[in-house]
Structure 1
Amino acid sequence: MKTSARLEQAISKLYTAFHNNTLNPECCKSCAVGNILDNTDTWKHLTEGHGSLNLTYVGKVNEAFGRKLNGYSPLELLKIEAAFLSGCGYKLPLSRKNRDSINRSSKEVMFNGMCAAVAILCELDDVANVMDFSKLFDFKEDKPVYELSF
């Protein structure tokens, strides 16, 4: 499967952050988008709130001028972050009220969030979700449809 450089870099950064335990949904530098943007928080000025899909004036201007951050438009970044937060179990936009019940140190919570972010990343590049392994379990006449190759 041919993928874009931006997709490969984004997935690589999320993978590294996941395994280094540096994904933190409540920190703008360590969340999905923070990691994709090299652990910077400049992207937070593009949104009305963490997890919101509404662009601020600054976000709208950057979007209108076609500005890209590591290959992603401001609106694409907000979609990625919203998917990550939703995947972690947060209600959006993020607020103090809905932070108590999420275990940020849980690998399962971070994995679910990362999977949701990767699904959006793949959708944005119009490629099949690289995290979808369900085809491996397709069968026809008691034989697998797809072979597992290494």
Structure 2
Amino acid sequence: MAFKRRTEKAINRLYTAFHKGELHPNCHCKCAVGNILNQADFWAAFSDSVGEKNLSYVGRVNQLLGRRFEGFTPQELLDIEAVFLKRLRFEATGKFSYNQDDLFYGLEAVIKYLCKLDHEPNLLCIEELLDYQPKKTSLLV
């Protein structure tokens, strides 16, 4: 299955970061968007706080200028990070608490969002990939 280049590249980078142990939501370079942007942290200036979906002044300027980073607009990048962080626990210390399962489910949500964003079938949903809805429950459960 061929996906849009930006979706494929983003999923590959996230997959690699997850398996190398380089996915850390408390670091702008190593969170979901940081890894999509090849471990860059400039995108953090696009919002006033972590996980916020509202663009800051810098984010609005880049958005209005039509800038794209690895194919994504500043707003799309903030939305991707918000989807990822939503699956993690925010502690009173101001940091995200997580384990490997939390990261997995966060990435699952991001992949689903990326597919939706680019009007692609959900990579993780076999029914969408095969364009088939079973009529009855499988006996192989």
Aligned to 2:123: 130
Q: List gaps (5 residues or longer) in structure 2.
A: none
Contact 1:88 1:113 in 2 (8 A): yes
Distance 2:26 2:60 in 1: 24
Contact 1:79 1:120 in 2 (8 A): no
Q: In percent, how many aligned pairs have the same letter?
A: 39
Q: List gaps (5 residues or longer) in structure 1.
A: 145-150
- How do 1:15-30 residues align onto structure 2 when only pairs under 5 Å count? 15-30=15-30
Distance 1:141 1:48 in 2: 49
Distance 2:12 2:29 in 1: 16
2:32 is aligned with 1:36: no
Distance 2:137 2:110 in 1: 34
Deviations 1:44-99 (A, max 9, x none): 01111110001111100000010000100000000000000012244xxxx75463
Task: Output the amino acid matched with 1:55.
Answer: L
Against the structure 1 CA distance between its residues 132 and 98, is the aligned structure 2 distance closer, same or farther, given a 3 Å change threshold? farther
CA-atom RMSD in angstroms: 2.4
Aligned to 1:147: none
TM-score by length of 1: 0.81
Aligned to 2:7: 7
* Secondary structure in structure 1 of the residue aligned to 2:101: helix
Task: Output the amino acid matched with 2:81.
Answer: E
